[in-house]
Chain A
Amino acid sequence: MSKKLTIEQVAQLEGYAKAIRSSIVSMVTEAQSGHPGGSLSATDILTTLYFAEMNIDPKDPQKIDRDRLVLSKGHAAPVLYATLAERGFFPKEELLTLRKINSRLQGHPSMKDVPGVDMSTGSLGQGLSVASGMALAARLDGSAHRVFTILGDGELEEGMVWEGVMFAAHYKLDNLTAFVDFNGLQIDGPVSEVLSPLPIPEKWQAFNWNVIQIDGHDINAIYDAIQQAKTVKGKPTVIVATTIKGKGVCQMENIADWHGKAPSREQCELFLGQLNDLEVGV
């Protein structure tokens, strides 16, 4: 039997996710630009990875045998920064410097600037290949650490993704787990209307990946899928996580326009109030 989270652990993780969501809304508002929608949709995945799964040390961010995360959908930088700050990699106050001149917190993640960021990303389609290289290195070194990457569903429209999908399966990178943050929306509208990447699970299956489908806001499901991936040998795993863009802020949920728009200060107050009212552990 693989490990399970206790009810207390789940409640604690939901608490972290709530705090991270509030940070996302605050920092994007302060920056008056950025990508809140896809940050909020990926929050529960990053929370579970950084608080319940990954072997990392905020005091030693470059630790050689650490698990790694490549945020291939780099525009979701706010959720990565908020998670790293919540986890203690740098002070939370710094989050309000997002996208400002001289800040370490670039609009898209820069590994040379921010402790805990394992790869610079932002130009879509490139993260899976990089994560594959990291997974290959781990195998060459005989190290048991694992590599995670998070892709957007719209990102699957990038041809390079499929080069990476082929590569990871061909080299049987079973220490690699990819997430697809399947929120169904991209800048110009629903992914199914802009240029449909559907059906997603079947495509990855056809490329010889182990495919798991979950509700991407169910902490237990996320955690269980990660554990299941570890038991699969000879294949990389993709976790297709159905999510809601803007999750947690009802005015933002499922609205493509919130892909890359900052709330006004008044909206921010309202959204933070909503997030504050979210119940955890229910």
Chain B
Amino acid sequence: MNEDEVRRLFDRAASGPVDVDRVDPEAIVRAGKRGVGRRQIGIAVAGATAAVLALGAAVGIPMTLDEDGEPAAPGGAAPQNLPTAPVDDDFLSQWARSDHGDCPVPDGQTDEQERTAAAYNRTLFEALAELGAEPMGSCLVSRPDYDGLYYDSFQEAYHLEESVAFGGDASASDWALVRGGFWETGGVNYESLMELEECDYNQGADCSWEDTDEGRLLLIEGTRSDFINPDTEEGGSAEYPVVSAFLFRDDVVVTLGLSLRFESDRRAPSIDQVIDIVKSLPVGEDAPETDAPAEGDIADALAAAAEQAIPGIAVETDTAEFVRLDPEVAEYGGPVYGAEATHMVFVLAELGSGETVRLFLQAEQVADVDGDPAEAAALFAQCSDAECETAADGPRDVSVHRTIEGEHPSLTALEYRVGDGWMIGVGVETADGSETPPVDFATLDALVDGIR
């Protein structure tokens, strides 16, 4: 059945007279006026309720701290006198998210679907990172927002809709909407269907076919119409450069496409790079069992980045200690690394010179910040208690080099990512806190880059 036949089917189904009087304008206006009245009352009540809830939340803050604010037992690599609190249970899952978002992930996925999506996410986001694309961590407001791929039971398909930023050029704001997914064909010839949809309806798209060992590839380059704001759809549509591919395996269709929103003349990902990603997705493989994110994962990430950036270093991961800072950190008299929302991993390491140092990673995801991101970064880096040099790495990222002096001198390189709201820093101090350690900011910057 083609489109004209579908139109004729609709014509037949909707033919004949329509009793329009069943839709009475006067009755609708009367019902509409009643509805408007109810809604206006509802708004007033909702406003009052919100005020009461806000008051309750403010009153509730000290109570929460009283219940959860017990200091963690000292030990391991963390400084002995550092005021700490139990780690927030949600922090690890937040840290482990592929899309760097902080919006709640909807329920409803089975364990197998979650494992499958996780396996694809790992491959996909690693490949995107190799293209210089970093998840923006944005949350959809018009529909549920998942962590990367998710199974849509209605569509019987896995879908992906994420935004990624391309960094490295301080003068540009370059991002892309990444859409993808895969589904079983069920014996249907999707090659012609998707060619019809992607190519026949899009005058600006150049389509071509390529036969590969993995299956036929439909390659799409050029431009196509897309929403200016894919989430809210405000502002309507416009033509955007697109690069996408469909891989028609024996019984599965896999697709990935980028709608590019580049302001600079940055070179766009090539169709070959997109093909490589599509081919690399582990279609047909059993999704491996995945463990829940663990505290050791962050220490391992820190150790791996350190060993990559500092030749000769030996990180003693068994000394790793994972803590959340207690609010008293501002007044205890030692280094003020962060605030109560800051989680930190401390680990001891021996440099090639034989000197033992304490490495630390600090991270927190901060809420939306109004105003100057550099000021916000300095605030979260506790620069009021330290010397800081702040620089914009681009429209979305701010770099802070923090020097803490005093009895426990340390250097910390921090990065505030405006897109996903993560403030991540890596620092170093000598184990006995006596003097500034021999690791420079350039090395610490590399460590930050190596971690996420």
The answer to whether A binds B is no
